Chains A and B, each alone.
Chain A
């Protein structure tokens, strides 16, 4: 990082325009195209959430009606509450486990099978979601039949599992970037491993943990496929609620909910970004 800063960027541009990716022919056109394809549908979705009409395709005039309707819709209220509850608990549990996993895979000398362990932790990123979903459905149904235990715990457990790798990645990256000398110094000064962890490692690790927790929260609140198969009675999350509306025709009420969702996501992502940046 530091040595790049020493070079004058203007000189680089002048000298190496031919090798800088940014100046390759078509670069900015393709970049703009990608941005438009990604964001234009979202802009349209947000726009039609303010449509006075009940159509999501023909514009009439501006109104807040759909936001007010969505706010008073009991189905949306309870779905939002359940989503929030599941995402919060899952994110907390996943982050605790991910932190432990990250410590075990960075802070000790590599051991036989460590790479396999990392692969297993990241398994939810690689196995197709529908496979995990069907497998979880069958597995949980067997447990429910055997024990008679029901409730939202199953949904939380499933969410915790697939959130772990998302929390794990930023925490591990942070740990790898941290200066080991600080921990060694603490040990030299007779700090016990627990004291070192609490006074040195954990505070330095906090930005990674917070980013990880927020990422896990977003991933959980977004999830459709696994929730669809695992959710029991009275456990409709917000994405499931929206999915259920689609066959009978989407109304701007769904756009309004999606827009609120989007704003929350943007705020969280911005927060993760700023938090990561300040503590570097």
Chain B
């Protein structure tokens, strides 16, 4: 027994040493789970002889918590649009100036002057998508492109609706339906919104993030959610259709950024430049099922991605709205509405 314990300790000790003694070139990426194309990583590893570690986080909060403490060991993180702004303000990101890198010419102009990183001194586009809702067109045969389906549900959909368990997404959709401004601090309008949500909630079945499972299990016939998830759900339930409501819908973008304390700063910059090549961006999209912000990727992307209704916004639909983080006073008001709604 004692011998086996000793040899076990020795063996595991050796393997620790082995995994610690990597080649000089490494790069540590921290991204959402199931969101990083292994093919894209492999191509980068082979091209630059750099060993890449990819770790997953399950929420922006987890990522921020670990990175804010410092010495996390990560080089590249993938924050959402609002989080990029938060991280720049907190001084967590390195000003690596991707706008001066060789491949920056490939970045689509409409993603350069964005509210979260004017002129792109810190971050580059990774994937972007929209948050709207998905309806089964066999169950509801009318026009789906209106938020009325969620807030004034027709009788076919009453009690068959799932909303995201997300304060911002639910409140923003409600404000759009009422025609009021986002980041709204007008108490009378917010009261009206609250009454709308309370009334609508009677027709909602659940408030949950697991939208693919909810839709494919036929637990609900309408679910608020992201376009890529809707596309995946449609594979199992072909009658589903993603709506582009005339009142408007949310756009979001996940961005690649380099941490200020990145241990492998040079490799991180190399990776950033690499991710602005159409080939790499297309590989990322093919895996994650979302659009990227790089020009000329179409020829490397799957035909399915280039044509699907969820990814390509149809002509006539409003442009997606990117909502910046609201002031603290507004957030407090939102929280009040949200906690009361969830009671």
Residues of A with Cβ closer than 8 Å to B? 53-58, 74-75, 85, 88-89, 92, 134, 137-138, 141, 144-145, 150-153, 206, 228-229, 231-236, 240-241, 243-250
Among residues of B, the one whose C-beta sits closest to the C-beta of A141 is: B69
B341 interfacial contact with A, CB 8 Å:
no
Bound-complex Cα distance A228 to B63 (A) = 10
Q: Are the C-beta atoms of A75 and B38 separated by less than 8 Å?
A: yes
Residue of A57, A152, A228, A248 touching B16 (CB-CB under 8 A): A152
Among residues of A, the one whose C-beta sits closest to the C-beta of B29 is: A233
A18 smallest CB distance to B (angstroms)? 46
Set of chain A residues within 8 Å of B72, measured between Cβ atoms: 141, 232-233
Set of chain A residues within 8 Å of B19, measured between Cβ atoms: 152, 234
B156 interfacial contact with A, CB 8 Å:
no
Binds A, one of B173-181, B212-220, B297-305, B309-317: B212-220
B62 interfacial contact with A, CB 8 Å:
yes
Q: Report B196-227 CB contacts with A as 1/0, cut-off 8 Å.
A: 00000000000001101100111100000000
28-79 of chain B: CB within 8 A of chain A = 28, 30, 32-35, 38, 53-59, 62, 65-66, 69-74
Q: Are the C-beta atoms of A152 and B20 separated by less than 8 Å?
A: yes
Residue of B34, B62, B217, B263 touching A58 (CB-CB under 8 A): B217
Q: List 7 A-B pairs, minimum CB-CB distance, nearest first.
A: A244-B33, A244-B56, A57-B217, A233-B28, A234-B53, A144-B71, A249-B212
Interface size class of B (residues with CB under 8 A): 35 or more
- Contacts known (A231-B55, A233-B74, A235-B55); A246 close to B33, Cβ less than 8 A: yes
B105 interfacial contact with A, CB 8 Å:
no
Contact sample, A vs B, 11 pairs, CB 8 Å cutoff: A55-B213, A55-B216, A58-B216, A85-B16, A134-B65, A138-B69, A150-B73, A228-B58, A236-B55, A243-B56, A243-B58
Bound-complex Cα distance A74 to B213 (A) = 25
Among residues of A, the one whose C-beta sits closest to the C-beta of B288 is: A248
Q: Are the C-beta atoms of A141 and B56 separated by less than 8 Å?
A: no
Set of chain B residues within 8 Å of A138, measured between Cβ atoms: 69
Q: Are the C-beta atoms of A249 and B213 separated by less than 8 Å?
A: yes
Set of chain B residues within 8 Å of A88, measured between Cβ atoms: 8, 12
Set of chain B residues within 8 Å of A137, measured between Cβ atoms: 65-66, 69
Q: Are the C-beta atoms of B28 and A234 separated by less than 8 Å?
A: yes
- Contacts known (A232-B72, A232-B73); A244 close to B217, Cβ less than 8 A: no
Set of chain A residues within 8 Å of B65, measured between Cβ atoms: 134, 137, 229
A133 smallest CB distance to B (angstroms)? 10
B286 smallest CB distance to A (angstroms)? 14
Beyond A89-B9, A151-B16, 15 additional contacts (C-beta under 8 Å) are: A56-B213, A58-B217, A58-B218, A58-B236, A85-B12, A85-B16, A92-B9, A134-B65, A229-B66, A233-B55, A235-B55, A236-B55, A236-B56, A240-B56, A246-B210
Bound-complex Cα distance A145 to B34 (A) = 30
B235 interfacial contact with A, CB 8 Å:
yes
Q: Are the C-beta atoms of A244 and B9 separated by less than 8 Å?
A: no
B1 interfacial contact with A, CB 8 Å:
yes
B172 smallest CB distance to A (angstroms)? 19
B229 interfacial contact with A, CB 8 Å:
yes
B15 interfacial contact with A, CB 8 Å:
yes
B262 smallest CB distance to A (angstroms)? 11
Bound-complex Cα distance A245 to B218 (A) = 21
Set of chain B residues within 8 Å of A248, measured between Cβ atoms: 32-35, 228-229
121-178 of chain B: CB within 8 A of chain A = none
Residue of A153, A228, A233, A250 touching B73 (CB-CB under 8 A): A233
Set of chain A residues within 8 Å of B263, measured between Cβ atoms: 150
B188 interfacial contact with A, CB 8 Å:
no
A143 smallest CB distance to B (angstroms)? 8
Set of chain A residues within 8 Å of B23, measured between Cβ atoms: none
Residue of A74, A75, A151, A247 touching B58 (CB-CB under 8 A): A247
Bound-complex Cα distance A219 to B3 (A) = 25
Bound-complex Cα distance A250 to B34 (A) = 10
Bound-complex Cα distance A5 to B5 (A) = 39
Q: Are the C-beta atoms of B16 and A249 separated by less than 8 Å?
A: no
Among residues of A, the one whose C-beta sits closest to the C-beta of B215 is: A57
Residue of B15, B38, B58, B210 touching A244 (CB-CB under 8 A): B58
Residue of A134, A145, A244, A249 touching B71 (CB-CB under 8 A): A145
Set of chain A residues within 8 Å of B57, measured between Cβ atoms: 244
Among residues of B, the one whose C-beta sits closest to the C-beta of A96 is: B5
Bound-complex Cα distance A89 to B218 (A) = 45
B191 interfacial contact with A, CB 8 Å:
no
Q: Are the C-beta atoms of B55 and A55 separated by less than 8 Å?
A: no
Q: Report B8-26 CB contacts with A as 1/0, cut-off 8 Å.
A: 1100110110011000000
Among residues of A, the one whose C-beta sits closest to the C-beta of B209 is: A247
B100 interfacial contact with A, CB 8 Å:
no
Set of chain A residues within 8 Å of B236, measured between Cβ atoms: 53-55, 58
Bound-complex Cα distance A49 to B70 (A) = 39
